Structure 1
């Protein structure tokens, strides 16, 4: 559960306050959960209205894997018992300016989450909705990260190699 105050007091919030408008590194992770029909779980983000995978910033003292599990739990109510890294992204092409005008170069891991427990219960601060979608029938508007994440996952499942970019 988050709030503006939580973000400002977080590592990324404090670094942003100290560095002003400079482009910063943003350490993050996303979680991908599939159901028995191959559909993926997406949230509708409250900050920009886009459908996306649950994701967010690492906290100090946390691993990227644990970040994916925590963020997914916080945003959906579903807890993963297992997380497998399938993509690690860090290149300049992952530099984005958010709705608040802050620019970040994302360094992120994408994890396939399994052994799921809990009930869908999206955090209204971060997700106005959530749902299961077939990869060929995604809702609009969908974040571009959903498309490339699904491509990275398919590549990983075909080759067994983590996608690094």
Structure 2
């Protein structure tokens, strides 16, 4: 009987220790998430300020920053293409002028990147304006990954996120674009 009570007491002590450690780790995680959200908000504000003063983005509503090296993540490439195809299928062709794709240039071989872009556009049958980042826009805006920025009429960022997106984020992007731009009926 005493052995059984000792086992129960030991079990309760171990369980309490595990619960305390788990609670401590959860609190640390929440603090880290708050810190990372603050960092995201600060970089978001910086990006917003830089975009609003750049003439390349005037009258643009959707900016896709593309780094082909990120396409080793097949989900990233598929989501970028999914958004492009969804926009082309659901929005008036006039709206294509509001969308720009920037491709990051990782070396000085501009011809190679132009060839890569042309083939990628043909292969995926895209009709959007695609620019090679010859002026280091990625670095100037501190964009480090393939990402999407959605701008309102005042050239302010309404939404910004890096790929891959969670399914709920992908739907959120579509909803924002749909609400912002004219949708076919």
TM-score (norm 1): 0.25
Greater fraction helix: 2
**Rg bigger for which structure?**
2
Q: Give the TM-score normalised by the residue count of structure 2.
A: 0.23
Greater strand percent: which structure?
1
